Amino acid sequence: MTTDAASPAGATEGPVPVVVLVSGSGTLLQSLIDAAADPAYGVRVAAVGADRACTGLERAEQAGIPTFVCAVADFADRAAWDVALAERVAAAAPRFVVTAGFMRILGPASLGAQPVVNTHPALLPSFPGAHGVRDALAYGVKVTGTTCHLVDAGVDTGPIIEQRVVAVQEDDTEESLHERIKVQERDLLVEIVGRMAREGFSVDGRRVRLG
């Protein structure tokens, strides 16, 4: 079965609104903010949310983008937090959501509203989880990379949209390898978010089709 997750952005429709969720420095977010400054990119960052105070929120505020914090500790349980987060995201009326270094697992309320896009610093389905770079290096792979995928209820298990390959060098440390992956990760996220907004996309099982 095919699910139409978004329609192409027409010239009269204006830029497509997205909400970006962050937890840290916001370098991925900054790449999206920079790209969205060009009207031809077709994306408007409608709001930036976080689960804590972080540099990412400061980047959004400096760009004049509305921000909000939805901290897990402020709610009775994770389910209540998830519902509240979904409500805050919905208030910005996004076409889809981007998790850019957001270090929380989303629940059914958040995942059931709009499509959610994420990047991961490994070639999924290999090396999911919080230590993808470390795990790939420890395994001895010759290539790794970054994956842009839709988020589902699992950990890095959602349908893959696109991937970029990064070669592992003999003298790589986790830090040096991660820095080269980050370059590709930022570029990939900017490309895919822009294409999803401008061209639309559909999901058919585990296949994501742009345009």
- Among 120, 131, 149, 178, the active-site one is 120
Could you report how far apart the first and last alpha carbons of the chain are, in Å? 17
Is the distance from CB of 159 to CB of 171 less than 8 angstroms? Answer: no
Is the distance from CB of 163 to CB of 147 less than 8 angstroms? Answer: yes
3-state helix vs strand vs coil in the chain, percent to 5: 35, 25, 40
Residue whose pair of structure tokens reads 């294409």 in the numeric block: 195
- Range 135-143 contact pairs with CB under 8 angstroms and sequence separation of 24 or more: 136/168, 136/177, 137/168, 137/172, 137/173, 137/174, 137/177, 141/168, 142/167, 142/168, 143/167, 143/168
Task: Judge whether 131 counts as a catalytic residue.
Answer: no
- The string of DSSP letters for 69-101 reads E--GGGSSSHHHHHHHHHHHHHTT--SEEEESS
Residues identified as active-site: 120
